[in-house]
Structure 1
Amino acid sequence: MDRGFEIVSKYAKDDLTIPYRTTKSAAGYDFESAIDMTIPSIWKINFLKVLWAIRHQKTIDDSKIDAAKKILKPFLIPTGIKAYMKPNEVLIIANRSSNPLKRGLVIPNGIGVIDADYYNNEGNEGEIFVQILNFGITDIKVAKGERIGQGIFMPYLLADQDQSTHKQTRSGGFGSSGR
């Protein structure tokens, strides 16, 4: 087995679809949402009040900043899927091309990077989430089974100095390899 997808145990009985290519020449495997959820618009009232205060160099209390941060943050859409691949490969999670134009949904860091050692990790079994930010005017409802992103398997290269750098073993789930 070189590369592929499995359903995480949490969703074993939820009738999820393994990612698939929609057309014969598609590079990306379509990922679907594992649940129904609403992605709030970033243009909520507290966010706008904080922007106005910053623009007009007004003092902003911490509670308003915290409320704005809760609105202006990416949401994680669970897929219920994990991916296995060779050690020298990566799964890149990209947005669907129609999401920004039709729905105002973007992946805030541009892409997601799923490393080979994310598969079956202790933190969350390697479940893949799609990070989404809604910059549209209204909240967006995402239905279970709706396509939310696409994954592309790719090989990667190592630098000549790679053997001399310290490496740790992954021990957690989402975002566990960073600080």
Structure 2
Amino acid sequence: MKKRGFEIVTDYINKEIHLPQRATHHSAGYDFEAAAEVVIPSIWKQLLTRKINDNAATEKKIKPVLVPTGVKSYMMEDEFLQLANRSSNPLKRFLLVANGIGVIDSDYYNNTANEGHIMFQFTNFGLKDVVIKKGERIGQGIFLPFLKADQDQTDHDRTGGLGSSDQAK
């Protein structure tokens, strides 16, 4: 029985994708690479090109950018994969993982909406756009166990991909 690991998403099988690996023997995180070149626009540049008085339109345009990895992950039922930023991204490139950390649940694997494709959400707080090149290391994933409350009850199964668990309410 497989416990935890990574696989390439079907749409990326012939696109020279590398499975995440740890950089050193004592590294906790598995380094993820970008599966495609992606531009992360500066939020300041976006603000300056928008009408400042049009808040609703500005908010729709200024949002995180998803960077595909071409990878999915399987794990045990009581585990999750935590997605974290590389320590050098904010310091050198002004990139933040927009949701702080990402949480990949075990039932995200092979979901019907996107096969469990893992993507990182980035916001660029720098003054210039940042280009992430294909194959560049963008973040890391750490497998972690989690605990459940004594009163834990769930009546819903995952019905989709990214952001789908909020639809189960």
TM class, shorter-length: over 0.9
**Hey, which bits of structure 1, 4+ residues long, moved more than 3 A?**
none
CA contact (8 A) 1:42 1:71 kept: no
Question: Residues of 2 paired with 1:19 and 1:122: CA distance?
Answer: 23
Contact 1:40–1:71 (CA under 8 A) maintained in structure 2: no
Q: Following the alignment from structure 1 to structure 2, what is the Cα–Cα distance between the partners of residues 38 and 70?
A: 17
2:35 counterpart residue number: 34
* Structure-1 residue corresponding to 2:139: 149
Rg larger in structure: 1
Gaps of 5+ in 2: none
Q: Report percent identity of matched pairs.
A: 55
CA shift, 1:72, in A, is: 2.1
- Aligned counterpart, 2:96: 106
Q: How many Å apart are 1:66 and its aligned residue?
A: 4.1
The number of aligned residues is 164
User: Matches of residues 1-179 of structure 1 in structure 2 within 5 Å?
Assistant: 1-44=2-45, 45-46=48-49, 50=52, 60=53, 64-162=54-152, 165-179=153-167
- Verify the 8 A CA contact 1:46 1:68 in the aligned structure 2: no
Q: CA RMSD in A?
A: 1.2
Distance 1:172 1:123 in 2: 5
SS in 2 for 1:127: coil
> Deviation per CA, 1:120-142, whole angstroms, max 9, x where unpaired?
00000000000100001100000
Provide the C-alpha distance between the structure 1 equivalents of 2:60 and 2:133, rounded to a whole number of angstroms: 22
TM superposition score normalised by structure 1: 0.88
- Given residue 154 of structure 1, which amino acid in structure 2 is its aligned partner? L
CA drift at 1:166: 3.3
Q: Identify unmatched segments of 5+ residues in structure 1.
A: 51-59
Cα deviation for residue 171 of structure 1 reads 1.4
In structure 1, how many angstroms separate the alpha carbons of the residues matched to 2:25 and 2:154? 41
Change (3 A) 1:166 1:88: closer
Letter in 2 for 1:36: E
Measure the CA separation in 1 of the matches of 2:56 and 2:8.
Answer: 35
Give, as a single letter, the amino acid of the residue that structure 2 aligns with 1:86.
M
- Secondary structure, in 3 states, of the residue corresponding to 1:160? coil
Q: In 2, are the aligned partners of 1:95 and 1:107 still within 8 Å (CA)?
A: yes
